[in-house]
Structure 1
């Protein structure tokens, strides 16, 4: 998923496509991998070794996207690519599935005049509710709620 988003960011920014290299360690019967992605002249490394090359490459791409989303002129573009692809909704669903939890439930409320509606959305996951920023479309309101939930999960605000 992250590799695709990094590639899309490169295409939208007219950069060269990302290139990956890997470090392989361990015995032949149980190798583990660390990946490095070269993106627009910068290198980003997966934070730890992974059991598959694919996981390591996705981890390196995630590091790159997160770093790019926090700085420079590509900040807005990187954030928009992550948002447009619906990555946060996918991440919440995948996390719930892996943890054996019920899938996230989105509750959207419409307000405002009919010609200029405002949608507010709350997502429930593991007995917790997260509210996103209001938006002009139901789809965007759901993405905003998913982004709020994912941000809280990443910051450890659940414990």
Structure 2
């Protein structure tokens, strides 16, 4: 139960999937198990007592320890470098932080059915951006369109940042 909750939490926060490890000790007629789950740099262990009798139970106990510790964070740490956050997620974050409508994707399929190619456009804040070429998957085409939008929107934001720097004397944080 907590194993799936932990996976869902990691997915929601765009963290790598938890890595489980377990070991068996004792005689065949009365084995005991120990489990650990790693989420980024943090490692959580199943409690020492009482000892569950199955691998599944100890993995769930380790996942429970991780979930209870991580779910309470108000500002979760960034476990993935910023460059590994998918472009579509970055564009959605951009829209949400600026209280704009969410990006709307439109993808066109071309080519034969056995070898389809995709080209995508994304519309955000009334502007439409297109993927620079055709891709072999819809996901890659949408990601390329989102990347094009982010680059254009970042270039548009740079003059504003320079102007604010002149007035305030402070540098704004990295654009996201």
TM range (shorter): 0.3 to 0.5
Relative to the length of structure 1, the TM-score reads: 0.47
Relative to the length of structure 2, the TM-score reads: 0.43
